Structure 1
Amino acid sequence: MNQVQKLLIIGFVWPEPNSSAAGGRMMQLISLFKAQGFSITFASPAQDSDFMVDLVENGVDKKSIELNNSSFDVFIKELNPDVVMFDRFMMEEQFGWRVAENCPNALRLLDTEDLHCLRLARQNAFKEKRSFNTTDLFDEEVAKREIASILRCDLSLMISEFEMELLESVFKIDKSLLFYLPILLEPIDNIEIEKLLCFDERKDFVFIGNFLHEPNWNAVQYLKDTIWPLIKKRLPEAVLNVYGAYPSQKVLQLHNKKEGFLIMGRAIDAQEVVQEALVVLAPLRFGAGIKGKLLEAMQCGTPSVTTTIGSESMFGDLPWNGFITDDLATFADRAVQLYQDKTIWLKAQQNGFEIINQRYSKGLFESDFRKKIEFLSSNLKQHRLNNFMGSMLQHHTLKSTKYMSRWIEEKNK
């Protein structure tokens, strides 16, 4: 009888699928591993939150762990996982050396979410009012940390093809260390489509996004100051509902009923509010990864207007479910067009269904992912021999990080 394989996920935070796309993504990964028959433990040094998912209810063991504490060594030795997945590079930095030391034969995966160094380099370029160039990445301290983390791991899961190409061309990361696994969705069939509200049953514009994420906060300011006044001038009765978890006081102060700019805070049911809207607005000016809010719009049959950054790596050579533009006046024009023209709206909606079914359907990736994990688990020694840079970084990190962590632990006593 085959022994049940064990997966340990080391989470940056406890998953909150209703607060962010990252939380939803984590639950999808858990579901993929459960389908492969893994027994799963989710450990995190984060504080519990009011909106975290009930992991135990989802068949996952929950374990609180501490940073810079050798109690983790005892825990992981006892658990002895076959696979360890780090949720973002910060967790690999903190716990990777302990995993390598205590469970050297465990397959080490990194779920990147998005490339943090790309997001930050773009954000800095935007703030400095200049064009982003890939050479900017070399100036980011985060890039050095993030790339080192990718090299130390056996496989990094990537949600964006653009970012995979960037890692291969700019940072010369070997293809064998990267695996494309976007956000995974159930395909949309005619029965699902018929359940959605039609054009005449919907109203208003909507923006949705977690406010702890800087690109979202910037997009809302851009809407408020620049784009929304242009739309409102053409559509005096129009309303923009702005939803998002963790709004700060600065966000709440943007609420203005007279201007039809309404800050609604956290959505109890994100899909419901997106499905009731006519158009999603997402004028993102920097960022990385693929945008959960825009996939959600497609699932809900709601066309969107977004930017080049917003739509990056999301639609391949298929037509977008609405419009993509970086020009301010065109953005407002296209939003009005979708809001008023049922024919254009229906075509855009159909485009969204095509994108989901051809690029994000779970069935397109499940089997390849399972085979990749099985192959690496069976050929781990050779795979690591082929990744000398990773072994070298692992060796030096283990020495430096280990002693720094031990020093912090002693200091804390």
Structure 2
Amino acid sequence: MSHSVPTKVLVIGYVWPEPRSSAASGHVMQILEAFLEQGWDITFSSPAGPGEHKADLTALGIREVPIELNNSSFDTFISELAPDIVLFDQFMMEEQFGWRVEKHCPDALRILETSDLQSLRHARHQRLKDRLKINDEQTDFTELFAPALHEEFQLMASTDLAKREIAALYRCDLNLMISEVEIDLLVEEFGLPRQILHWCPLMIDLPDTTAPGFEERAHFLSIGNFRHAPNWDAVLWMKTTLWPLIRARLPRAQLHIYGAYTPPKATALHNPAQGFHIMDWAEDALEVMSAARVCLAPLRFGAGIKGKLVDAMLCGTPSVTTPIGAEAMHGDAPWPGAVALDANTFAEQAVQLYEDPARWQQAQIQASALLQQRYQRSVHGPRLINRIDDCRQHLAQLRNDNFTGAMLRHHTLKSTQYMAQWIEAKNQLNPTER
């Protein structure tokens, strides 16, 4: 789509991006880079404070503007900016700011970057908690790992979170989905129109260097932001069940666990005598991943796709995970490592990969093929831009075809608007309570 002036994009972030701390931030950065390649004029705003590992967006030519929740100063800001496209990073930002965007920039294309379906992740977490309450046996979780889409829908449908999240998806003109499984769930079970959903996985450049080989590597590795509940649960499962099983077979093996925002409860698990090392944040995740022989990702719940497992493929590091970890990541291709449904199989597969150079080498080759097949930036970047351009050209028709979205905007946003205005008025009367 050619314009005499650059397309103006406003991104409203739940947090300031920290691509070295989380895959969700990494995905946001990949989307921003696709926009920058078009010469688009980008402003990034967030009501959050800057985190410890915040990316320097200004160095990329992106303006950074802090904003406030429940404050009409945003109305002035967006009216003056007059963006052509507004991207909400996570549905809570659409809830907070969507009605203001619609009121002041009704013709701006509204896009939601979901990262993962939070209501699906939370429902799966609840299912795990319920299972552990009934039976705290820690080895076999087969029943959690292969539910049909309708079972997932039944888990989610009664929750407030799903109602909020699905409503936000309906209210947007386009929703970026990182997982094809989640697209199928939304279309087949929740009835969303497929034309408002776009598959946009992690987008990477293929490595141009040869990954280190089997003999050059040592140790097991696990990595992930400790603030993300599925990662913390995986660390606990490794500590109590999986690592003792692996260590019984490989008495000298070491497990190095890296993650941003390491809490004291994680540091307390550090035990060099058991080969169990809590390593804190990795300055360069790809460097530590490339030095490891096998990546462990024993996720018992979660959603979306897993940045750590794409990193493992990039580094040619075979991984052992669960069906939750591998979900929506490999299509019909073989997994570059192993997918296990229970603790004993997980440990067995981890040991085999660690000790068998031929099997390890085969997994490394499969990783390279999978990256090429599914995750190339050169494929998904242009596809995203084309989809956005098409939505902008047919915006009136797109909105007309999405009557449920229009209805939800009419009703929900009025209530959100009045609640926000009430909070703002209350804050002005009682500034000390803010």
TM-score w.r.t. structure 1 length? 0.98
| Alignment partner, residue 167 of structure 2 | 148
| Alignment partner, residue 288 of structure 2 | 273
| Alignment partner, residue 399 of structure 1 | 414
- Structure 2 residue matching 1:187: 3-state secondary structure: coil
> 386, 390, 393: which is aligned to 1:371?
386
User: Hey, what's the Cα distance between the residues in 1 that align with 2:159 and 2:275?
Assistant: 40
Structure 2 residue identity aligned to 1:192: T
User: Hey, what's the Cα distance between the residues in 2 that align with 1:338 and 1:85?
Assistant: 42
User: Hey, what's the Cα distance between the residues in 2 that align with 1:301 and 1:307?
Assistant: 19
Q: Which moved more, 1:126-135 or 1:35-44?
A: 126-135
Q: Deviations over 1:164-221 (max 9, x none)?
A: 0000011000011100000001124xx422xx22111110000000011000000000
Deviation at residue 378 of structure 1 after TM alignment: 1.3
> 239, 242, 259: which is aligned to 2:274?
259
Structure 1 residue identity aligned to 2:160: E
Find out whether 1:284 has 2:299 as its counterpart. Answer: yes
User: Hey, what's the Cα distance between the residues in 2 that align with 1:283 and 1:51?
Assistant: 26
> 75, 98, 101: which is aligned to 1:99?
101
Structure 2, unmatched stretches of 5+, are 132-142, 429-434
Q: Deviations over 1:299-320 (max 9, x none)?
A: 0010000000000010011111
Residues 206 and 314, structure 2, Cα contact 8 Å, conserved in 1: no
User: Hey, what's the Cα distance between the residues in 1 that align with 2:93 and 2:119?
Assistant: 16
Deviation at residue 327 of structure 1 after TM alignment: 1.6
Find out whether 1:231 has 2:246 as its counterpart. Answer: yes
User: Hey, what's the Cα distance between the residues in 1 that align with 2:296 and 2:35?
Assistant: 34
Residues 115 and 304, structure 2, Cα contact 8 Å, conserved in 1: yes
User: Hey, what's the Cα distance between the residues in 2 that align with 1:330 and 1:5?
Assistant: 52
- Structure 2 residue matching 1:247: 3-state secondary structure: coil
Q: Deviations over 1:273-312 (max 9, x none)?
A: 1100000001100000000000000000100000000000
> 329, 350, 373: which is aligned to 1:314?
329
Residues 300 and 324, structure 2, Cα contact 8 Å, conserved in 1: yes
Residues 335 and 366, structure 2, Cα contact 8 Å, conserved in 1: yes
Structure 1 residue identity aligned to 2:209: E
Deviation at residue 386 of structure 1 after TM alignment: 0.7
Residues 58 and 64, structure 2, Cα contact 8 Å, conserved in 1: yes
Find out whether 1:117 has 2:134 as its counterpart. Answer: no
Structure 1 residue identity aligned to 2:82: N
Percent identity reads 51
Deviation at residue 379 of structure 1 after TM alignment: 1.2
- Structure 1 residue matching 2:68: 3-state secondary structure: coil
Q: Deviations over 1:83-134 (max 9, x none)?
A: 0000000000000000000000000000000000100000000100075632
- Structure 2 residue matching 1:207: 3-state secondary structure: strand
> 245, 253, 259: which is aligned to 1:244?
259
Deviation at residue 366 of structure 1 after TM alignment: 2.4
Q: Deviations over 1:28-73 (max 9, x none)?
A: 0000111122100000000112210111011100000000000000
The two structures, once aligned, show a CA RMSD in angstroms of 1.0
Q: How many residue pairs get matched?
A: 409
Find out whether 1:214 has 2:232 as its counterpart. Answer: no
Structure 1 residue identity aligned to 2:46: S
Q: Deviations over 1:333-378 (max 9, x none)?
A: 1101111110000000110111101000112222222221111111
Structure 1 residue identity aligned to 2:358: T
Deviation at residue 403 of structure 1 after TM alignment: 0.8
Residues 318 and 363, structure 2, Cα contact 8 Å, conserved in 1: yes
- Structure 1 residue matching 2:10: 3-state secondary structure: strand
- Structure 1 residue matching 2:312: 3-state secondary structure: helix
User: Hey, what's the Cα distance between the residues in 1 that align with 2:290 and 2:128?
Assistant: 32
- Structure 1 residue matching 2:273: 3-state secondary structure: coil
Residues 31 and 381, structure 2, Cα contact 8 Å, conserved in 1: no
| Alignment partner, residue 139 of structure 2 | none
Structure 2 residue identity aligned to 1:295: V
User: Hey, what's the Cα distance between the residues in 2 that align with 1:399 and 1:235?
Assistant: 61
User: Hey, what's the Cα distance between the residues in 1 that align with 2:382 and 2:350?
Assistant: 39
Q: Deviations over 1:118-162 (max 9, x none)?
A: 000000001000756321111221100000000000000000000
User: Hey, what's the Cα distance between the residues in 1 that align with 2:396 and 2:339?
Assistant: 46
Structure 2 residue identity aligned to 1:147: I
Structure 1 residue identity aligned to 2:419: M
Hey, which bits of structure 1, 4+ residues long, moved more than 2 A? 130-133
